[in-house]
Amino acid sequence: MPRIMLGSAVLLSVLIGYCIAHEDHGEVQSCESNSFSRIQANFRPGAVTLDGHPDDWSEVDGFEFSLLPALDPDEENEYKGGKMTVKALHDGHDVFFLLQVDGEYAYSKGENSKCPSVALMFPVGESATYHNMGGCKESPGTCSDKTCHGHEVDIMHFSIGTAIPGRLYGGNPLDNGNGSDRFGHLVDLYAWNPHCRFLDGLSPSGNDTSAENNWKGAWWHDSFNVHSGFLEGDSPFGTSGQKGTYYFEFSRPIRTMDRLQQDVQFTIGQSNKIAVAFWYPVDGKPWSGFQHYSINCDWIPLDIFSPPSPSGGSWNAALAFTLLLSVTSLCVSVFVGYWSTRTNKAVAFTPIDHL
Ligand SMILES: *[C@@H]1O[C@H](CO)[C@@H](O)[C@H](O)[C@H]1NC(C)=O
Ligand SMILES: *[C@@H]1O[C@H](CO)[C@@H](O)[C@H](O)[C@H]1NC(C)=O
C-alpha cells in the first residue's frame, strides 16, 4: 500500500509539474527538428541479452543525439554530460533498445527524482503529436477515449530508485491487469496530453484488467566493478560522482494483445516513430517530471527492417523445388487427361452455362 501511495504521489507531483511548465511556456516552442536522423532496427536474432550490459551491442550501429531540454530546446541548456546514443534491433518477436549516456554516478535509493531516469514515447493514434504528449486539447475532467480519440501515445518510463542494476524489471505476474511495476517502476503508460496520462488499463471512465505491462528492462553504470549479482542491500551499488556511462536496455514484443489503443504496434518492414526522454539530477538536485531532456523536438523515424533476402544457395533450392512441382503437375494433368478419355466415355459433356 505505501508503495502505491508513493507512486500516486510521484505521479501527482509529476502532473503538477507539467501544469506549471505548461503555464510557464505556453503552447509555442521553437523546433529545429533534425530531419535527417532516424533510428534503425535490424533483424539480429539472439544477439543481445537483456541485462543492462552493453558488450553484446558492440556490433550494432548506434545513433547519436544531443540532449536538449524538452520544454525549451535551447543549445545553451544542453545536457552537459554528453550525447545520448540509441541502438535498436529486433529478433522477429521482440524489439530491443539500448540507450547509453555519459553521467557521473548518481543514485539515491528509493528517490527516483535523485536518480537518472529514461522514457520512450511512440504515437499510437493517427493524430498523436510529439508536442504535448499526443496533443489532445481536452483537460483532465473531459479527456476520454472518445473526446481524445486519435491522440493516444504509448509511453515506457523507467525510474531506477528501487531497481537493482543488472536485474530485470517491467511487466510481472503480480501487476498483471495494468501497466504498473511494483518492484522497479518500469511502467507502461498511455497519454492523450501531459495532464491526461495513465497506466495502461486505467482510465477516467473505468479500468480494464485486460491491460498488461509489455515492457522489460534493466540498467547499469560502468563504474560498477562487480559484473553480476547485486542485491538491494548493496545500494547505492557504486561511489557517487564516479565518471562513467549509464546504460538502459529494454525490450517489448513487436505486437501486444492491447485492445484499448494504449500500445504502439510495430510492423516488420515498416517505419514507426519514437521519442526518447532523459532525466538527470543535475548538481544533485532532484528533477521534476517536466524537467527532462529529449533527443529531438519532434518524433524520430524508427525503421524495423525485414531480414535480408535469402542468399543465392537457398534461392536455387527454392527454384529447383518450384521446377519439380511444375513437372509433377504436368505429369498429373497428362495422366488425368488420358484416364478420363479411357474411362469416362459415357459421361456427357455439360456446357457450364446450363448448370
Ligand atoms: C495493478 O494490478 C495489480 C494486480 O491486479 C493490483 O494489485 C494493483 O493495485 C494495480 N495497480 C493499480 C495502480 O491499479
Ligand atoms: C481504477 O483504478 C484506480 C487505481 O487502482 C482506482 O483509484 C480507481 O478508483 C479505479 N477506477 C474505477 C472507475 O474503478
Distance (Å, whole) CA 92 – CA 75: 38
294 within 8 A of 83, measured Cβ to Cβ: no
Q: What is the mean pLDDT of the chain?
A: 86
Q: Could you tell me the distance, in angstroms and rounded to a whole number, from the CA of residue 175 to the centre of ligand 1?
A: 6
Average of per-residue pLDDT across 179-198: 97
pLDDT digits (tens, 9 = 90+) for 143-171: 999 999 999 999 999 999 999 999 999 99
Ligand with the closest atom to the CA of 208: 2
Q: pLDDT-based confidence at 353, cuts 50/70/90?
A: low
* Nearest CA residue ID for atom 3, ligand 1: 175
Atom number in ligand 2 closest to CA 199: 4
pLDDT digits (tens, 9 = 90+) for 266-299: 999 999 999 999 999 999 899 999 899 999 999 9
Helices of type H across the chain: 2-25, 312-343
Average of per-residue pLDDT across 325-354: 58
- Does residue 17 have its Cβ closer than 6 Å to ligand 1? no
Distance (Å, whole) CA 88 – CA 249: 10
Q: pLDDT-based confidence at 98, cuts 50/70/90?
A: very high
- Does residue 262 have its Cβ closer than 6 Å to ligand 1? no
